[in-house]
């Protein structure tokens, strides 16, 4: 049964792969500065990079949602015999949700790591004032 459901997910992904062709998964920033040693310019630059990445993730998840909705709308226009089955729609929905959640999780991880470096940067800055 597990193999069958895996095959169905792969089949839905293959059938719907053209739907996701326009949605390009953004690349996360490769490296964030170490807040304990970074300059203010490095931190500002990293902040802009993280903000741009988060905007790219938002655009990606919006694209996924739009492509998903369009795929379902296109499917609804097909003759009944050519439409996705309930199981295929459920699998298609599941794949879309998984892609969305993975992107959001990665963006949250990047933001969390950057916030940790901001705290380290602020701690270093406050130590210099003391």
Residue 129: per-residue pLDDT: 66
Count structural domains, the chain.
1
Tokens linked to 99: 């892609």
**What is the extent of the structural domain holding 119?**
2-129
Q: CA-to-CA distance for 28 and 86, rounded, in angstroms?
A: 35
Residue 123: per-residue pLDDT: 94
Q: H or E segment at 23?
A: none
Q: CA-to-CA distance for 12 and 6, rounded, in angstroms?
A: 10
Q: H or E segment at 130?
A: none
pTM for the whole structure: 0.78
Chain segment 81-103, per-residue pLDDT in tens = 999 999 999 999 999 999 999 99
């Amino acid at each position: 049964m597990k193999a069958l459901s895996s095959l169905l997910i792969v089949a839905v992904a293959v059938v719907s792969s053209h739907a996701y062709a326009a949605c390009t998964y953004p690349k996360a920033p490769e490296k964030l500065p170490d807040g304990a040693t970074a300059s203010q310019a490095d931190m500002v630059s990293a902040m802009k990079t993280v903000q741009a990445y988060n905007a790219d993730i938002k655009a990606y998840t919006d694209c996924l949602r739009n492509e998903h909705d369009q795929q379902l709308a296109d499917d609804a226009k097909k003759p009944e015999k050519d439409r996705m089955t309930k199981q295929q729609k459920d699998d298609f929905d599941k794949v879309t949700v998984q892609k969305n959640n993975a992107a959001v999780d990665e963006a949250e991880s990047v933001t969390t790591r950057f916030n940790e470096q901001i705290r380290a940067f602020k701690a270093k800055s406050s130590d210099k004032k003391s």
